C-alpha cells in the first residue's frame, strides 16, 4: 500500500518542484531591470505589488498539487445541528489556518524588515498572506464543486482575476503606496468573501456519483497501460530515460566536436537514437503482462489487438526520438549536413522493419517481477538466434549508409519501411496466430 501511495504522488512532487523553481526566473525577469535602480534608491517597497503579482500563479500551482483537506461533511456530521453556512465558515477558517499560507512569509519576513519600515513590512506580509489564503480557498471551492457547471464559475472568475490584479498593480490612478497596498488586500478579501457566498449556494453530497457513465477503451488508454506498466516497475522505469539521455548526449557531443567531420558518425548516432527507444520497450514484450496473462486471456481482448497497441507504442517512441534528434540537430548543427528526408527514411525503416522484428521476442518472453528487487532483470530467455534476428536489420541499415551515398541509402531505407508498413496487417496476423497456437507453452514460461 505504501508503494501505491508513493507512485501516486511522484508526479505531484515534480510539479511542486517546477512551481518553486518557476518562481525564481519570474522574479528575475520581472525585477532584473530594477536591480540597479533599487540599489541606488533603496525603495524596496516599490516592488512589493509586483512581487505579489509574480507569486500569484506559482503559489496557485503549488497549492493545487499539494493542498489536501476534508471538504465534505460526513454522514455523521450531517446528523448534528450544523448548518451549511457554519460548515462553510469552518472550511474558510481551515484555509486561513493552513500552514501552506505561511511558507512564503518565511522567505519575505527577513527581507521586509531589513529593507522597509515596520508599517510597510506588516502591510507587505499581510498582502502576501492574503494572496496565499485566496489561492488556497479558491482551490478548496473548486474541489468542493462536484460538477462542471459548479466548477465553471470559479474558473471564469480566475481568468478575470489575473488581468484585474495586473491592472491594479500598475496603479494607473497613482495611489499612495500605503493606500495602494491596503486596496490590494481589500481586493483579495472581497474575492474571498465572494467565494464564501458562492460556496453557500453549492449543494454537496457524499454519495454524489449517481449518474451512470459509459467507459470506452481507446488506443490512447491502451498506450497509457503500455507505458504505465514499465513506469510502475521498480527496477525498469529508468531504462527509457537512460536511453534518451545517452542518445541525445552522444548526438550533442558529435555535433559540438570540431574534429568529427565524417557524415557517417552523425548518421550512426541518429539511427541508434531513433531505434534505441523502441528496442528497449520491445525487449520487454509481454514481460510485465506475464504477471497477469491468465487474467488478460479471459478478457474480450484478442492477442492481436494487444500486439497492435504495442506496435503503435513503438511507432510513437520512434517518432518522438526522431523529432528530438531533428530539433537538436537544427539547434547545434555544424558543417555536417543531413537532409530532413534522412530522418524520415530512418523513421520509416524503424516503423516498417525494426518494430516488426521486435515481436520475435514475444516467443521467448519471461515474466518480470514488477515490484521485485532481484538482481536478474532479463525480460526474455537468452537466445543467440533471437538476438541475431533482432539486431541484423540494424546492422544492415548501418552498412547501407556506410557504403552507399546518403541519397541512395535514404531511398533504400524508405522503400524497405514502406513495404513493411504495407505488409503490417499480414505480419501482425502471423505473429498473433503463432502466439495463440503455442499459448500454453508461453504461459508456462511466465509461471517459471
Which residue would you say has higher pLDDT here, 416 or 102? 416
Task: Say how far apart CA 247 and CA 236 lie, in whole Å.
Answer: 18
Report CA-CA distances (Å) from 268 to 228, 251, 338, 342, 346: 30, 9, 12, 12, 11
On average, the pLDDT of the chain sits at 73
pLDDT of residue 2: 36
State yes or no: pLDDT of 26 exceeds 80: no
pLDDT of residue 291: 64
Average pLDDT over residues 141-160: 80
pLDDT of residue 29: 55
Average pLDDT over residues 166-185: 86
pLDDT of residue 209: 45
Angle ∠(166,171,175) on CA atoms, nearest 5 = 145
Average pLDDT over residues 419-440: 86
Distance of CA 300 to the CA centre of its chain: 31
Average pLDDT over residues 388-396: 81
Query: Which backbone phi and psi does 168 adopt, to 5 degrees?
Result: -70, -40
Interval 133-148: pLDDT, tens: 888 888 888 887 777 7
State yes or no: pLDDT of 236 exceeds 60: yes
State yes or no: pLDDT of 10 exceeds 60: no
Query: Which backbone phi and psi does 192 adopt, to 5 degrees?
Result: -65, -40
With beta carbons less than 8 A apart as the criterion, state whether 348 and 418 touch: yes
Please state which of the ranges 84-88, 311-315, 332-336, 401-405 shows the lowest mean pLDDT: 332-336
Please state which of the ranges 125-139, 227-241, 390-404, 408-422 shows the lowest mean pLDDT: 227-241
Report CA-CA distances (Å) from 426 to 283, 353, 394, 432, 448: 22, 13, 22, 10, 32
Average pLDDT over residues 337-353: 87
pLDDT of residue 204: 60
Count of beta carbons in the 10 Å neighbourhood of residue 14? 11
Count of beta carbons in the 10 Å neighbourhood of residue 360? 19
**Could you please report the per-residue DSSP string of 146-183?**
-SHHHHHHHHHHHHHHHHHHHHHHH-TT---HHHHHHH
Band of the pLDDT at 61, cuts 50, 70, 90?
Answer: confident
Band of the pLDDT at 213, cuts 50, 70, 90?
Answer: very low
Please state which of the ranges 53-57, 234-238, 350-354 shows the lowest mean pLDDT: 234-238
With beta carbons less than 8 A apart as the criterion, state whether 386 and 364 touch: yes
Query: Model's pTM, two decimal places?
Result: 0.49
Band of the pLDDT at 229, cuts 50, 70, 90?
Answer: low
Average pLDDT over residues 90-119: 75
Band of the pLDDT at 268, cuts 50, 70, 90?
Answer: confident
Give, for 384, the enclosing helix (H) or strand (E): helix 384-403
pLDDT of residue 239: 65
151 grid coordinates: 466548477
Count of beta carbons in the 10 Å neighbourhood of residue 343? 20
pLDDT of residue 309: 82
Report CA-CA distances (Å) from 144 to 62, 187, 206, 319: 18, 23, 11, 41
Which residue would you say has higher pLDDT here, 209 or 108? 108
Task: Say how far apart CA 235 and CA 230 lie, in whole Å.
Answer: 9
Buried residues in 285-306 as b, exposed as e (16+ CB within 10 A): bbbbbbbebeeeeeeeeebbeb
Per-residue H/E/C for 337-364: CCCHHHHHHHHHHHHHHHHHHHHHHHHH
Band of the pLDDT at 338, cuts 50, 70, 90?
Answer: confident
State yes or no: pLDDT of 81 exceeds 70: no
Task: Say how far apart CA 55 and CA 76 lie, in whole Å.
Answer: 39
DSSP classification of residue 47? G
Please state which of the ranges 131-135, 236-240, 305-309, 344-348 shows the lowest mean pLDDT: 236-240
Most confident segment among 100-114, 137-151, 211-225, 252-266: 137-151
**Could you please report the per-residue DSSP string of 84-97?**
HHHHHHHHHHHHHT
Query: Which backbone phi and psi does 264 adopt, to 5 degrees?
Result: -65, -30
Distinct helix (H) and strand (E) counts, the chain: 21, 0
Interval 237-267: pLDDT, tens: 666 676 677 677 777 777 666 656 667 777 8
Task: Say how far apart CA 415 and CA 156 lie, in whole Å.
Answer: 52
Percent of the chain with pLDDT over 70: 62
State yes or no: pLDDT of 219 exceeds 50: no
Report CA-CA distances (Å) from 411 to 59, 321, 391: 53, 21, 21
Distance of CA 315 to the CA centre of its chain: 20
Task: Say how far apart CA 94 and CA 71 lie, in whole Å.
Answer: 10
Average pLDDT over residues 299-321: 81
With beta carbons less than 8 A apart as the criterion, state whether 284 and 369 touch: no
DSSP classification of residue 186? H
pLDDT of residue 161: 87
Amino acid at each position: 500500500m505504501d508503494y501505491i501511495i508513493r507512485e501516486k504522488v511522484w508526479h505531484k512532487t515534480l510539479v511542486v518542484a517546477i512551481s518553486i523553481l518557476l518562481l525564481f526566473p519570474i522574479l528575475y525577469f520581472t525585477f532584473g531591470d530594477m536591480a540597479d535602480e533599487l540599489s541606488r534608491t533603496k525603495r524596496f517597497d516599490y516592488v512589493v505589488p509586483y512581487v505579489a503579482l509574480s507569486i500569484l500563479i506559482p503559489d496557485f500551482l503549488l497549492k493545487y498539487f499539494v493542498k489536501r483537506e476534508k471538504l465534505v461533511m460526513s454522514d455523521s456530521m450531517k446528523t448534528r445541528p450544523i448548518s451549511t453556512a457554519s460548515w462553510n465558515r469552518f472550511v474558510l477558517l481551515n484555509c486561513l489556518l493552513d500552514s501552506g499560507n505561511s511558507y512564503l512569509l518565511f522567505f519575505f519576513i527577513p527581507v521586509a524588515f531589513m529593507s522597509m519600515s515596520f508599517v510597510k513590512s506588516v502591510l507587505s506580509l499581510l498582502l502576501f498572506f492574503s494572496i496565499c489564503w485566496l489561492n488556497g480557498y479558491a482551490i478548496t471551492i473548486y474541489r468542493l464543486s462536484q460538477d462542471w457547471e459548479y466548477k465553471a464559475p470559479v474558473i471564469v472568475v480566475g481568468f478575470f482575476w489575473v488581468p484585474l490584479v495586473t491592472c491594479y498593480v500598475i496603479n494607473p490612478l497613482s495611489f499612495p503606496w500605503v493606500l495602494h497596498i491596503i486596496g490590494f488586500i481589500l481586493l483579495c478579501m472581497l474575492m474571498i468573501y465572494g467565494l464564501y457566498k458562492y460556496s453557500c449556494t453549492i449543494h454537496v453530497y457524499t454519495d454524489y456519483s449517481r449518474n451512470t457513465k459509459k467507459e470506452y477503451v481507446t488506443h490512447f488508454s491502451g498506450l497509457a497501460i503500455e507505458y504505465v506498466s514499465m513506469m510502475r516497475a521498480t527496477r525498469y522505469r529508468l531504462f527509457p530515460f537512460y536511453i534518451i539521455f545517452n542518445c541525445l548526449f552522444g548526438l550533442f557531443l558529435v555535433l559540438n566536436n570540431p574534429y568529427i567531420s565524417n557524415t557517417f558518425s552523425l548518421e550512426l548516432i541518429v539511427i541508434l537514437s531513433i531505434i534505441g527507444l523502441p528496442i528497449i520497450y520491445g525487449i520487454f514484450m509481454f514481460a510485465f503482462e506475464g504477471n497477469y496473462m491468465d487474467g488478460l486471456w479471459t478478457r474480450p481482448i484478442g492477442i492481436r489487438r494487444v500486439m497492435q497497441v504495442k506496435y503503435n507504442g513503438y511507432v510513437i517512441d520512434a517518432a518522438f526520438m526522431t523529432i528530438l534528434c531533428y530539433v537538436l540537430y537544427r539547434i547545434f548543427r555544424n558543417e555536417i549536413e543531413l537532409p530532413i528526408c534522412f530522418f524520415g527514411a530512418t523513421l520509416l525503416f524503424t516503423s516498417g522493419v525494426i518494430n516488426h522484428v521486435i515481436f520475435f521476442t514475444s516467443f521467448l518472453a519471461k515474466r518480470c517481477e514488477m515490484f521485485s528487487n532481484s538482481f536478474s532483470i532479463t525480460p526474455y530467455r537468452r537466445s543467440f538466434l533471437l538476438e541475431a534476428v533482432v539486431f541484423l536489420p540494424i546492422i544492415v541499415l548501418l552498412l547501407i549508409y556506410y557504403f552507399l551515398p546518403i541519397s541512395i541509402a535514404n531511398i533504400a531505407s524508405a522503400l524497405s519501411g514502406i513495404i513493411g508498413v504495407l505488409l503490417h496487417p499480414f505480419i501482425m496476423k502471423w505473429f498473433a496466430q503463432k502466439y495463440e497456437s503455442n499459448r500454453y507453452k508461453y504461459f508456462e514460461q511466465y509461471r517459471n
